[in-house]
């Protein structure tokens, strides 16, 4: 059966979801936003019903899948209501505000029998998918580095307070760790699985809860330690594209190395993400330069096919839970100034 989409939230991120849905010729039957003006272009383009209250959309019998594209603080409430009503769910990242909320969402998704996806779209870069294919050939892994450095339009290292950025904390529950690090945490878990423990330091803007840099060590039971860092910065011409976006993964194994360079998240059509594979047996280095694609489009097509086939794919609710556990542990470790053992519950 062809899925029928209800979209909740028409903020900045929604345009990527709408574009992807248009490309797969999806049926969008209901759109919700508290601001009718921002929703109107999409309502007109898809010829859908419009409401200001998400409860009207969830009660709509025509809607079979609910895309939750609101700020993160509303995700739990809306997703649980959608599952309760028997809808499939696509949830923007981060899935929840904390690990306990995420745990509750996983339990509800499992109990409902519905399909549940979380929008960590960077998994869908062709460079990432190829790296995943090549990963087993690296043999035993002994080292990895992951970073995301993002220019947010200012020098946060000279601020005395972050009052003007309270809207970020209010909407997303955090700054760098929530907004910048979450995707690369998911990428780390996608490649390497769950660590046993972690140790972190967080640098906050003085007199605020605004985290501007986080430095972490993810510790695995086989001796692998991942060095992970996320930061906002004022450097304009660094990174693979020399446009300030500097996001990188390096994984080292006894048989070789993988390096992945991603591109500016909201301008992926400019360049393809880059993958470099070093093969130690051949002593050769191969660059995979893929065409520029929008990973949102690939993700949307993948979720759509899963919905049609009634197959649960990834990232799913447990993947969303995994990221939220790591985020909470990063914050706890920095607060306690000690290593934190990760609680993965029974999932």
Residue 275, C-beta contacts closer than 8 angstroms, at least 6 positions apart: 127, 128, 130, 131, 258, 259, 260, 261, 287, 288, 290
| Residue bearing tokens 């979801």 | 17
Give the residue from 175, 134, 33, 109 showing the smallest Cα distance to 317.
109
Q: How far apart, in whole angstroms, are the C-alpha atoms of residue 182 and residue 58?
A: 28
At 252 the three-state DSSP class reads strand
pLDDT at 346: 87
Q: Where are the domains of the chain?
A: 4-121+297-315, 123-293+326-341
Question: Token pair of 115, please?
Answer: 């399909």
User: Environment class of residue 76 by beta-carbon count within 10 Å: exposed (0-12), middle (13-18) or buried (19+)?
Assistant: buried
pLDDT at 341: 98
Radius of gyration of the chain (CA): 20
Give the residue from 27, 28, 25, 32 showing the smallest Cα distance to 10.
32
Q: How far apart, in whole angstroms, are the C-alpha atoms of residue 174 and residue 165?
A: 10
pTM check: above 0.95: yes
Degrees to nearest 5, angle at CA 145 with 143 and 151: 180
For domain 123-293+326-341, the CATH architecture is 2-Layer Sandwich (3.30)
Question: Exposure pattern of 288-305 as b/e (b: 16+ CB <10 Å)?
Answer: bebeebbbbbbbbbbbbe
At 61 the three-state DSSP class reads coil
pLDDT at 337: 97
Residues paired with 232 in a beta bridge = 150
Check residue 167 and report its DSSP letter. H
The kind and range of the H/E element at 166 are helix 166-172
Q: Which pairing describes strands 88-92 and 27-32: parallel, antiparallel, or unpaired?
A: unpaired
Q: How far apart, in whole angstroms, are the C-alpha atoms of residue 301 and residue 279?
A: 33
The tens digit of pLDDT for each residue in 157-183 reads 999 999 999 999 988 889 999 999 999
pLDDT at 1: 84
Strands (E), the chain: 4-8, 27-32, 49-51, 65-68, 88-92, 116-119, 141-150, 197-204, 211-219, 225-232, 246-253, 256-261, 274-279, 284-289, 340-341
Instruction: Decide: 239 and 147 in contact? Cβ < 8 Å.
Output: no
- CATH number corresponding to 4-121+297-315: 3.40.50.720
The segments of the chain whose pLDDT lies below 50 read none
The tens digit of pLDDT for each residue in 253-305 reads 999 999 999 999 999 999 999 999 999 999 999 999 999 999 999 999 999 99
DSSP states of 260-273: EE---TT-TTSS--
Instruction: Decide: 272 and 292 in contact? Cβ < 8 Å.
Output: yes
């Amino acid at each position: 059966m062809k899925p029928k989409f209800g979209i909740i939230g028409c903020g900045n991120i929604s345009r990527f979801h709408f574009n992807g849905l248009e490309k797969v010729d999806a049926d969008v039957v209901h759109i919700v936003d508290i601001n009718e003006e921002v929703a109107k272009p999409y309502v007109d383009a898809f010829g859908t019903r419009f409401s200001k209250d998400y409860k009207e959309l969830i009660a709509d019998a025509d809607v079979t899948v609910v895309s939750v594209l609101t700020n993160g603080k509303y995700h739990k409430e809306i997703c649980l209501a959608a599952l309760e009503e028997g809808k499939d769910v696509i949830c923007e990242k981060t899935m929840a505000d904390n690990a306990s909320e995420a745990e509750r969402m996983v339990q509800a998704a499992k109990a409902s029998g519905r399909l549940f996806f979380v929008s960590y779209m960077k998994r869908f870069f062709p460079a990432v998918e190829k790296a995943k294919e090549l990963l087993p050939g690296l043999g035993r892994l002994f080292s990895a580095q992951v970073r995301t450095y993002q220019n947010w339009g200012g020098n946060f290292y000279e601020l005395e307070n972050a009052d003007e950025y309270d809207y970020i904390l209010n909407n997303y529950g955090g700054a760098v760790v929530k907004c910048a690090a979450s995707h690369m945490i998911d990428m780390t878990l996608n490649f390497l699985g769950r660590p046993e423990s972690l140790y972190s330091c967080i640098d906050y803007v003085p007199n605020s809860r605004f985290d501007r840099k986080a430095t972490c060590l993810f510790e695995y039971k086989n001796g692998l330690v991942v060095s992970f860092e996320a930061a906002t910065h004022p450097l304009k011409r660094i990174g693979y594209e020399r446009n300030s976006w500097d996001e990188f993964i390096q994984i080292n194994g006894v048989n070789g190395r993988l390096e992945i360079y991603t591109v500016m998240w909201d301008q992926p059509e400019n360049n393809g993400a880059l993958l470099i594979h070093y093969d130690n047996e051949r002593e050769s280095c191969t660059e995979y330069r893929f065409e520029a694609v929008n990973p949102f489009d690939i993700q949307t097509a993948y979720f759509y096919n899963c919905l049609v086939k009634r197959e649960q794919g990834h990232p799913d609710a447990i993947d969303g839970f995994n990221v939220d556990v790591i985020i909470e542990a990063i914050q706890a470790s920095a607060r306690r100034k000690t290593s934190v053992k990760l609680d993965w519950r029974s999932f």
